[in-house]
Amino acid sequence: MSKEDNNKFDILRVLAVAGARGEDLTGATQMALEAAAHYVGLNAAALYLWDDNLEVTLNVSYADTSDNKGRLAGLEEELFARLRRDKKLLSAYMSFGGDVPYHSFSMPLLQKNRPFGAIVGLQQGKRTIVAEDVFLEALASVLSISFAAQAKDGLRAADQQLLDKERLAAIIETAVTVNHEVNNPLTAILGNVQLLLLKREDLDEELKSKLKTIEASAMKIKDVTQRLMRLTTPRSVEYSDGTKMVDISEEDENK
């Protein structure tokens, strides 16, 4: 393997390692574009990611001059982006004439055959950029895998947040029902017990002790229903035989 091939391989390795580690790929992509431009002979290169409406969500670019940066941005906006939107363009290699001929390309970033981004590049001079199509396809593939993996992790986190939100809503709905159905008769129990305890002189010690136990238990039930209503994080704890129950401990209240 030649030194140039080693350098190209190193570009791919750095991107793959950064993606596997879950690092921010923006910096790694910036480095990769600059290194690829040097070894492939590009005057400008850029990465674009977009959403389902083809609105750009990330743009990382490199260019040897501001003119070439503007020329590549113009090609992306006026040519490649329109062809993707109107003609479902995936990849393209194009050459343009003039006093200084130049070549340009667009390579897609794909996830399950669905494009979610592209690498575009610009090369001045007579050398055709098609000679580097294998490396450019490899670069696009590594970026596809890395960015798609990070996006999937983000979706998993978003899905978990949605699941937690729905679970909390279900718990609160249950708590409202419990408060309505339990607290009404519970209030009657507490009221009558406390009225009886006010007549302590007419009660023997054993009966007073039992009434106090009923009062304490009723107050505990009331406290549990109130904790359910104040719940902000749907945590679970082990109950028995693999069964779980909602954690309404004091620790949750103090967060």
Residues 184-225: pLDDT tens digits?
788 888 888 888 888 767 778 888 888 889 988 888 888 887
Residues 35-46: pLDDT tens digits?
888 877 889 999
Write down the pTM of the prediction: 0.53
Helices (H), ranges, 88-236: 133-197, 205-230
Q: For residues 58 and 49, is the Cβ–Cβ distance under 8 A?
A: yes
CA end-to-end distance (rounded Å), the chain: 58
Distance CA 67, CA 204 (A): 99
> Which residues are bridge partners to 243 per DSSP?
240
Distance CA 114, CA 93 (A): 20
Residues 154-180: pLDDT tens digits?
444 444 565 667 677 777 777 777 777
